[in-house]
A and B are shown apart, each in its own frame.
Chain A
Amino acid sequence: MLTGDTASRGIRVHVLIRGRIGDGWLDVDKDVQLPVGATLDDLIREATRRGIPMAEALAHSPHLRDTLMLNGERCPVAAHGARVLRDGDEVYLLAPLAGG
């Protein structure tokens, strides 16, 4: 249920992008404000519009489309693009790195 406050200001989604993306390294830790009812696809568009390289990361490291995490669970973009986000959701794009 939406509170009056949430309904008026929309929702806030936490975005974390970290690791080796393409040939480089990304470390992004930001909140993104979205209207109520926004979906995962909306988040990717809005984040990119605000200079948060979500679309870039997904393009450079295709496996991230499958390993994107929403609140600790894997959430493939292709199957969940229309999923409606909620206030306080956490969306992580975490690229692996070889460990020695």
Chain B
Amino acid sequence: MPNGFHGRALVVDLSTRSHSIETIPDEVFRKFLGGYGLGAWLMWKHFPPKTDALAPEACFAIVSGLLTGVKTPFSGRIQIVGKSPLTGTWADSNSGGSVAIQLRAAGYDAVIVRGRAETPTVLVVRDDEVRFDDAAEFWGQQVPDTFDRLKAKYGGRHEVGVSAIGPAGERQSVIASVMNDRYHAFGRQGFGAIYGSKNLKAIVVGGAGTVPIAQPEEFHRICKSITQEYRRDVGWMGRMMAWVGKTKKWLAWLYRLMPRIGAKIDPGTIAMRQIWSKQGTTSALAVSIENGDGPVKNWAGVGSRDFPLKTKSSKLDGPEVDKLITKKLSCGDCPMPCKGIVSVKSRGLSDVRRPDYETLAGFGANVLNDDLSIVVACHDACNRYGMDVVSASSTLAWAAEAFEKGLATADDFDGISPRWGDGEAMLALTLKMASGEGCGAWLGQGVARASKHLARGTEDFAVHVHGQEPAYHDARFSSLMGVTFVSDPTPGRHTAGSAAWNETFAMRFPLGKAAPKEETTVAWKGEHGKGKAQAHFSNAHQTLNGLGLCMFTNLTGQLPVTPLVNALTGWSIDETDLLRCGERIQNLRAAFNWREGIVPDDFKLHRRLLGEGDGLLTEGPLRGVHVPLASLRRDYHDAMGWNHATGRLSRARADALELTELLAEYVDAGAPAAPGSTA
């Protein structure tokens, strides 16, 4: 009997309304942990190569991180894997919510779904029971109603986790999201369309079991100490300590006394935890627009000129969003909940998930809208219908530019004139995209497809990477974010692990003992050492995904992940082993793309994020910035052992990672690793 996992995946076929249980060898968990790692292993095995993402034969999986489901702090995450209908590439997404927790309680580490149900269906998993319930009563329902009714029907005395789509997913919009426990989203890459293509309205999971733990006392002790530390720091005691920590002349006596009694205050970390707990990513909005990190006017604008902090972006910033908060929201198993619920009485909006950075940047600065109530309304529309906020708002920015240039008129948009800064017009179009009504039918397929539909030269300023709109961090601000956009197997993603956050604000490497500091620290300017750092950070990010931990833990302190994993599983591994697991995960994700016939050069970054053509700005903080993306990407590929042209993994690296047998076709020809070599 293994500890830390069940070694079982539930395999469901919606076409035949049947299921089976697949045993997963212990070695898979040791090599790939869980989460995206387990998911990538399952998809490598089960996904029929070069199958359309929306075909019945296509499959996807919901997977649990290794540390999820055992009350590990910061592990209330769900992960989904498959093939993206938006990009035709490897797809994965990471969301808050309880589905994975419930899945583990039901005795599974993953559920694989294939086939297409004849009629709308709810897949119900309750411990050993698997049912295919009719979803006719839920089909066509918006997300809030769907969740209320599903919870009422399947919840009751026992908690259940629910993952469901709204109308956008039902009609297979390729920018449709999947919503988890009502408020959390698998936002990117169009997983909502996959559910829709399978006539799958929702997955409901409930379980009453537990995950076996090798050293339960030690494991719970570590969890408790993490929770206590964070709760202290975000509670009243922490606030007081942070206040005292800010230098005050009249407290000089206290500062002199503290070293004598051995008291120590770390006001920086405490303050960071407090701001994160209070405002989450909303606190980044005004800063990021002003300093050039965030998008302005379809990536062609200048924040300090077109959407200045003093008069515009501050209206959408953390303190303003705070005023709308009605309650806090947690992903689950989190000692520092950073999400919230908001209401806007003037628009009759209540019980809306708080818009976070991407939403504020997309429906705000990128379309020059400074009306926060409009941003909330757009966010509400996206979440009600189940649509990705980044893709939707990017498409709006493109529409506004097409309108401004006279390449599109109000007639193209059902009488709506999408002028820059016209929030009401943006909201009206968002609702059309979400519902698929009128022009929303083609706008709601994302900017790449919408620009092809409209044509007239508008493809020129349709900003996307291989079909997906890049998340709202500018490569001209952080060059390594550009590398992430074109080198991660999921194009245009920012939550894919990047040394960009070391490059720009010195975020520490999460597995500090696994790599020398000089390899995980880069300067903001120049290219020196960036490929290696990018490789370390991207691999470590996949380690966190494999474990099921929130990526934001790194911003507020580092968790003792190795002791947690060893106490849970009974293994004796170290941080180097964990980093190698992350590297294997990254390679397995990349191998999926290679098998689909995708090569590195297929992923291209738009000139506006490279500082070329009209992306080479003549004013503002990004003035004159040009990104040397080709050489940076080449360095990253070298550090990963990837062939520049084919993307295939070098034989030496594959041997060192013990991947040669599994990924035989993907591994580049070449000499095997020298005896004793390590990754």
Contact = CB atoms under 8 A, between A and B. Distances in A.
Given A97-B283, A98-B555, 10 more contacts: A19-B287, A66-B524, A94-B291, A95-B287, A97-B288, A98-B494, A98-B501, A99-B294, A99-B357, A100-B495
B290 interface: yes
Interface string A52-68: 00000000111100110
A62 B506 contact: yes
Interface of A: 16, 18-25, 51, 60-63, 66-67, 69, 72-74, 92, 94-100
Contacts of B655: none
B281 A99 contact: yes
Contacts of B622: 74
B79 interface: no
Which of B280, B283, B505, B620 has its CB near the most chain A CB atoms (within 10 A)?
B505
B247 to A, nearest CB: 6
Given A20-B272, A22-B506, A94-B291, A66 B623 contact: no
The 5 closest A-B pairs by CB, nearest first: A24-B268, A99-B357, A72-B304, A63-B524, A97-B284
Contact of B290 (A22, A69, A99): A69
B647 to A, nearest CB: 27
Given A61-B505, A62-B506, A67-B621, A99 B268 contact: no
B524 A94 contact: no
Given A24-B272, A62-B523, A62-B524, A97 B505 contact: yes
8 contacts: A18-B287, A24-B272, A67-B292, A72-B308, A98-B555, A99-B285, A99-B357, A100-B280
A92 B356 contact: no
B517 interface: no
A34 to B, nearest CB: 21
Interface string B267-305: 111111011000011011111101111100000001011
A99 B505 contact: no
Contacts of B284: 19, 96-99
A63 B292 CA distance: 14
Contacts, number: 125
Interface string B355-372: 011100100000000000
Contacts of A66: 524-525
Nearest to B266: A23
B197 interface: no
Given A73-B621, A96-B287, A98-B555, A25 B272 contact: yes
Given A25-B271, A99-B284, A73 B524 contact: no
Interface in B491-515: 494-495, 501, 503-507
A23 B272 contact: yes
A18 to B, nearest CB: 5
A16 B317 CA distance: 15
B184 to A, nearest CB: 11
Contacts of A18: 286-287
Nearest to B474: A96
A94 B621 CA distance: 11
Contacts of A96: 284, 287-288, 291, 293, 477-478, 504-505
Given A61-B506, A62-B506, A100 B356 contact: yes
Given A63-B506, A99-B288, A24 B555 contact: no
B404 to A, nearest CB: 23
Contacts of A98: 281, 284, 494, 501, 507, 551-552, 555
A23 B290 contact: no
Given A74-B623, A100-B495, A24 B271 contact: yes
B375 to A, nearest CB: 14
A73 B506 contact: no
A72 B523 CA distance: 23
Which of B305, B555, B623 has its CB near the most chain A CB atoms (within 10 A)?
B555
A66 B422 CA distance: 35
B472 interface: yes
A27 to B, nearest CB: 8
Nearest to A97: B284
A94 B505 CA distance: 10
Contacts of A63: 503-506, 523-524
B553 to A, nearest CB: 12
Contacts of A51: 247
B201 interface: no
B251 to A, nearest CB: 13
B267 to A, nearest CB: 6
Given A67-B291, A96-B288, A73 B272 contact: no
Contacts of A94: 287-288, 290-291
A23 B268 contact: yes
B357 A73 contact: no
A84 B504 CA distance: 27
A21 B505 CA distance: 7
Contacts of B506: 22, 60-63
B320 to A, nearest CB: 14
B651 interface: no
Contacts of B280: 100
A67 B293 CA distance: 11
B357 A100 contact: yes
A69 B281 contact: no
Given A73-B623, A99-B472, A20 B357 contact: no
A85 to B, nearest CB: 17
